[in-house]
Amino acid sequence: MRLLLIRHGQTPANVDGVLDAAVPGPGLTELGQRQADALPAALADRGIERIFTSTMVRTQITAAPLAAALGVEPVVLSGLREIEAGDTQGKRDRVSVQTYISTVHGWAQGDRSTRMPGAESGTEFFERYDDAVRQILATGCDVAAAFSHGAAIRTWASVVAQNTPDAFGTTRHLENTGIVEMEGSFEDGWRLVDWEGEPIGGEDLVDRTAQDPTGERF
């Protein structure tokens, strides 16, 4: 299966550099909506058959234009949600951001037992994200689009891809509506096909001023 992991459109929290992983979370900014509206044309030739979103509002709003264009009903999967922020939820100070990022970085390096302060461990994150992807695989489609979140996509994809170092995602940015394209399965192994870190749809959809801690290089 080919799996397009698509980061949601820009939110107010992304602009202000706030760690916000609470469900249901914020909606999109004006730019975020334009990023979402650009997806049907930008992804028209990808052969997408099914669409999945997390339980967070921003992924569902981002997926809506593509789903309407393809005439498919998005399926909500809780496991696709962002890595929980725990004690850093709603914060933007340097210490909180570094705590979040260093914890996630540690998971990518293999230390999955460490817990995000006040939230889930790396083991728990990978278990629920793996479960979501297994549900996508179970549909039997050849190409699926899963709308998810910056830290979650970067961490899961770089670790499961057999053709990249586990910490690969920490050295790559993934802006809003950037896409990480994977191919394979849990049985045969996953391979990273492409890492499109810029917003899909054009240079005018890039916001160079946003602080966005989960989209920048870790």
**pLDDT one-digit tens code per residue, 70-115:** 999 999 999 999 999 999 999 999 999 999 999 999 999 889 999 9
Q: Is residue 214 part of a domain?
A: no
Q: Is residue 213 part of a domain?
A: no
Contact 216, 21 (CB under 8 A): no
Q: Is residue 112 part of a domain?
A: yes
* Mean of the per-residue pLDDT values of the chain: 94
What gap in Å lies between CA 65 and CA 32, rounded to an integer? 12
Name residues whose C-beta falls within 8 Å of residue 160's C-beta, 6 or more positions apart in sequence: 182, 190
What gap in Å lies between CA 94 and CA 91, rounded to an integer? 9
Question: Per residue in 173-210, pLDDT tens?
Answer: 899 999 999 999 999 999 999 999 999 988 889 888 88
Q: Active-site positions?
A: 8, 82
* CATH number, domain with residue 120: 3.40.50.1240
Domain containing residue 35: 2-205
Q: Is residue 151 part of a domain?
A: yes
Could you tell me the pTM of the whole model?
0.95
Query: pLDDT at residue 167 above 90?
Result: no
Looking at the structure of the chain, the number of domains it has is 1
Question: Per residue in 117-128, pLDDT tens?
Answer: 999 999 999 999
Q: Is residue 188 part of a domain?
A: yes
Q: Which residue is associated with the tokens 């949600």?
A: 81
Q: Is residue 217 part of a domain?
A: no
